[in-house]
Chains A and B, each alone.
Chain A
């Protein structure tokens, strides 16, 4: 509760142009935003996207009304920047090249190894892959995924279910 009011106070100060508050917000949220971007675009491009996210944050923080979690709002900005940067670099904005560690052999004991899982995820449609990434990889709740992806919460729930069903089908076709 105290932490939340502290955050609100920092955001209000940042809205008034308080540089210290802006710095605190950056320090607090940069690691999360950077990892989010780096998993999507790789380290270098992810760094650019993260920095652009905070530049946008400074410009538009006055429009943030506090109806949603600040970090979710920030990840929404990062999500859009990642998509724009990937488009500029002619990349798939939902590529999984930088999302996972190189899989090792013991990961596929029960359902599939890491490589199979990764290739199965890549075979998902962009809409399904997006919700899987935001929920499973970034750990966002359904409501947060809905806000970042700009779709209703029910759609997120449905897409996740169908994404996992598809994953199961894809993995079941892979020879053991």
Chain B
């Protein structure tokens, strides 16, 4: 091994004793190595003697900085910022809406939260279609239809309940001897509710928007909406709303809080008996249809076959017709109809009150706050949605920075 390359390590005491001995012997026997050894030793001493010894300063600051660092500080920061954004998005529109309502003079209250506004149109209209599908599911195919397909008589092994009603209430063959009062009690009330209302509001468009949000919140929908108004005439809006029957009263209460009620007209039509009657007819017709089909199976003559087929066709048409009526009535009963007319309040012609400037300023500030809130909410949403893009990059940058500053342990 080359002793020359170990001279420096020998001087620094970094060699094993055995190797150090070898190098020492080599240095003592070789003047060139000795010369090199002397140079290195002298130079090391020189460097040490020339070193600057800086006066220590800044220890106080370093001590002040010596405070426990909370782990995941930045994660907490992001969480807090996210919470603020979400809270802002929830509160600002609500707050601004309430303030704007008071400006109009009406004691308008909130109609729905901002999240209601986010409901998709499909969701809003889903209730009617869901209900319709449910009625279809629970209707003829499952009750009598199923029995007929299986070749069973309605009374043989058939379910004891159809559409939530006792079977006897629908099947005339089973209802013989059962009191009508019992059947009526067992039936769920089917009432078609209608209401017409006219309001005076401070801001027609605002009232329309609030109403739309409210209806969506109740899983209803706006069936029609029309606006009118010129420079000469006051703005008006006409809306037809469809609201689930169970929310009818709540919807009316909230509508009344939007402005001054000018007229009100409500009606209710109990169609429970009618629905039950239609269902009973459908059932009877289906039994009849099945008996014709049985006859058809045994018919041998062409004339008989044609005659039976014609009768089946007539019965089928009647069944379809009654079924459509039943569905329509149930739909009307499930979703109440509310017709609303909004008309703008007559504006005061008086001179502005002395304190109007304050209200205007307040209103402007609220609007600005709403804008800021909206911006923060949008920015937060963007950040959240795009987090799969920027978050890994940020985490990598933080990890890389930390790793770059800390040596391996």
Residues in A lying within 8 Å of B, measured CB to CB: 17-19, 22-23, 25-27, 30-31, 34-35, 38-39, 43, 46-47, 50-51, 54-56, 58-60, 63-68, 73, 76-77, 79-81, 84, 98-101, 103, 107, 110-112, 114, 117-118, 121, 132, 135-137, 141-142, 147-148, 150, 157-158, 160-161, 164-165, 167-168
Given A168-B40, A168-B43, 7 new contacts (CB under 8 A): A30-B59, A31-B56, A35-B56, A101-B50, A101-B52, A107-B50, A111-B39
The answer to whether A50 and B58 touch (CB under 8 A), given A101-B50, A136-B44, is yes
Question: Cα distance A30–B59 when bound, in Å?
Answer: 7
Q: Counting chain B CB atoms within 10 Å of each CB, which of A30, A35, A56, A58 scores highest?
A: A30
List, in ascending order, chain A residues with CB within 8 A of B69's CB. Answer: 58-59
Report the separation of the CA atoms of residues A98 and B53 in the bound assembly, to the nearest whole angstrom. Answer: 10
Return B68 CB to nearest CB of chain A, in Å.
4
B179 — which chain A residues lie within 8 A by C-beta? Answer: none
Whether the Cβ atoms of B405 and A39 lie closer than 8 Å is no
Asked if A22 and B68 make an inter-chain contact with CB atoms under 8 angstroms apart, the answer reads yes
Is the beta-carbon distance between A34 and B57 smaller than 8 angstroms? yes
Least Cβ–Cβ distance between A4 and chain B, in angstroms? 17
Shortest A53–chain B CB gap in Å is 8
Cβ A168 vs Cβ B409 within 8 A: no
> In the complex, what residues of A have CB within 8 A of residue B5's CB?
157-158, 161
Cβ–Cβ contact B409 & A54, under 8 A: no
A31 vs B386: C-alpha distance when bound (angstroms): 47
Please report whether the interface of chain B is mostly helix, strand, loop or mixed according to DSSP.
Answer: helix
Instruction: Check B58–A114 contact: CB distance below 8 A.
Output: no
- Given the complex, which residues of A lie within 8 Å of B40, measured CB to CB? 164, 168
Contacts A38-B54, A117-B47, A161-B7 hold; do A147 and B407 have CB atoms under 8 A apart? yes
In the complex, per-residue mask of B93-107: 1 if CB is within 8 Å of any chain A CB, else 0: 000000000000000
Choose among B56, B63, B406 the residue that contacts A63 (Cβ–Cβ < 8 A): B406
Question: Which among B14, B59, B406 is the interface contact of A141 at CB below 8 angstroms?
Answer: B14
A107 to B46, Cβ gap below 8 A?
A: yes
**Docked pose: A147 CA to B5 CA in angstroms:** 21
Instruction: Assess whether B43 is in contact with A27, with CB atoms less than 8 Å apart.
Output: no
- In whole angstroms, what is the CA distance A35 to B58 when docked? 11
25 contacts across the A-B interface (CB closer than 8 A): A23-B63, A30-B59, A30-B62, A34-B58, A35-B56, A39-B54, A47-B57, A47-B61, A58-B68, A63-B409, A64-B409, A66-B409, A76-B406, A76-B407, A80-B404, A80-B405, A84-B404, A100-B52, A103-B50, A117-B43, A117-B46, A117-B47, A141-B12, A160-B9, A168-B43
